[in-house]
């Protein structure tokens, strides 16, 4: 456990240092996944269904708030729906307008859920979002969660019935309106999922706010069971079908994600719980204080180990003195050698000078004799 706590502290320090860049990376990943999914799932307007357009748009969205990504993704969807028919475009636009009205009135700040919910539906783990938002969000977080579910099923219905909803199909204009609206309102699987996710979010939200030990762990367990039971009730009561394997995998993924989030955000030491009581002029206060589990990150220190003894130091001193003596002896030998070479040079010069003197005297004697 200590190793995990140290790792958590390192991750927190890393995020504190590079958090701005990590948020931009998350925005870019969310935006490019959303745009590529729209182009792959719909792709009815070929002019905007290119990967490079989605990549450029994702780069722009990485530097802007998530609300801009949601607006741009909504524009992409509306353009794709326009390629199908005007009726599909108007119904989709009406759903988007309703969402933005409720969103900006009640819960601004969770706009990324409108993109995240459809993506997690494609990954078969949509139960992760309501459980996590119940832990860190508010009760109003069910608005973006609900509309994310509605957008996913609406686009799914439009893709599966594009031949009927298209402007060149067999239905008239009123028939296309009726077909699209009924396809949304009469989708029982969608409404079962909306109810299950909203109830799960509210249950987790209220349980984790209780003043009991291990409130978050209890909320995670109760929320996971509640979500599974509600979906199973929808299978029997509303006659809808959910793959059992996807349901189990989604529930396990939600529980694991909740525990990971609890470890990083709300990991408490309940063994040191304290209850204090104090008062002022108007109230008595009963406070329950639970300390967070924290660990000091170990500091790495480098210690230079020197195991030399006094004997080794004496030997080193003698070696140093010996090297000094040898150096002095070498200098003396070098100086003596230089003196010897100088003496030899002087002797050679003296002999040469004497020889030149004798030759000069001989020439003078011969010259006088001739004269």
- Encode pLDDT of 156-180 as tens digits: 998 888 888 887 766 778 888 888 8
For 40-79, write each residue's pLDDT tens digit.
888 888 888 888 998 999 999 998 888 888 889 999 999 9
- The yes-or-no verdict on residue 305 having pLDDT over 60 is no
Which carries the bigger pLDDT value, residue 195 or residue 239?
195
Region of residue 124 (left: phi > 0; alpha: psi -120 to 50; beta: else): left
Percent of the chain with pLDDT over 90: 23
Q: How far is CA 118 from CA 108, 172, 222, 282, 286, in A?
A: 19, 30, 24, 51, 44
| Residues 153/189, Cβ–Cβ less than 8 Å | yes
Q: How confident is the model at residue 266 (pLDDT cuts 50, 70, 90)?
A: confident
Paired tokens of 166: 């298209």
Q: How confident is the model at residue 369 (pLDDT cuts 50, 70, 90)?
A: very low
In this predicted structure, what is the pLDDT of residue 204? 95
In this predicted structure, what is the pLDDT of residue 355? 63
User: Three-state SS across 6-24?
Assistant: HHHHHHHHHHHHHHHHHHH
Which carries the bigger pLDDT value, residue 172 or residue 135?
135
Q: How confident is the model at residue 370 (pLDDT cuts 50, 70, 90)?
A: very low
In this predicted structure, what is the pLDDT of residue 48? 84
Q: What number is the average pLDDT over the span 273-294?
A: 82
pTM, two decimal places: 0.74
Contacts of 36 (CB under 8 A, 6+ apart): 51, 54
- The yes-or-no verdict on residue 34 having pLDDT over 70 is yes
């Amino acid at each position: 456990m200590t190793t995990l706590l140290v790792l958590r502290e390192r991750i927190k320090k890393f995020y504190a240092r590079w958090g701005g860049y990590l948020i931009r990376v998350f925005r870019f990943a969310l935006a490019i996944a959303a745009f590529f999914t729209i182009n792959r799932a719909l792709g009815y307007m070929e002019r905007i269904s290119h990967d490079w357009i989605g990549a450029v748009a994702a780069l722009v969205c990485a530097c802007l708030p998530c609300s801009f990504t949601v607006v741009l993704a909504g524009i992409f969807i509306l353009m794709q729906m326009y390629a199908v028919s005007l009726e599909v475009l108007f119904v989709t636009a009406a759903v988007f307008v309703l969402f933005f009205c409720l969103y900006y009135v009640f819960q601004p700040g969770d706009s990324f859920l409108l993109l995240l919910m459809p993506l997690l539906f494609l990954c078969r783990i949509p139960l992760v979002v309501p459980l996590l938002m119940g832990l860190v969000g508010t009760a109003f977080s069910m608005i973006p969660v609900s509309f994310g579910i509605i957008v996913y099923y609406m686009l799914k219905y439009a893709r599966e019935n594009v031949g009927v909803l298209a402007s060149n199909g067999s239905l008239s204009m009123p028939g296309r309106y009726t077909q699209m609206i009924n396809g949304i309102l009469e989708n029982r699987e969608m409404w079962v999922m909306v109810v299950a996710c909203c109830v799960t979010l509210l249950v987790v939200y209220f349980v984790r706010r209780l003043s009991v030990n291990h409130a978050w762990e209890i909320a995670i367990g109760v929320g996971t069971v509640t979500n599974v039971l509600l979906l199973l009730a929808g299978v029997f009561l509303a006659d809808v079908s959910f793959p059992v394997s996807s349901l189990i995998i989604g529930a396990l993924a939600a529980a694991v994600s909740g525990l990971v989030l609890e470890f990083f955000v709300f990991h408490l030491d309940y063994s040191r719980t304290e209850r204090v009581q104090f008062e002022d002029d108007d109230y008595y206060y009963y406070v329950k204080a639970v300390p967070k589990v924290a660990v000091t990150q170990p500091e790495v220190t480098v210690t230079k180990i020197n195991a030399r003894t006094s004997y080794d130091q004496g030997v080193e001193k003698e070696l140093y003195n010996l090297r000094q003596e040898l150096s002095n002896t070498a200098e003396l030998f070098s100086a003596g050698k230089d003196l010897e070479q100088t003496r030899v040079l002087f002797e050679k010069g003296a002999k040469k000078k004497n020889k030149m003197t004798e030759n000069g005297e001989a020439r003078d004697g011969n010259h006088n004799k001739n004269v």
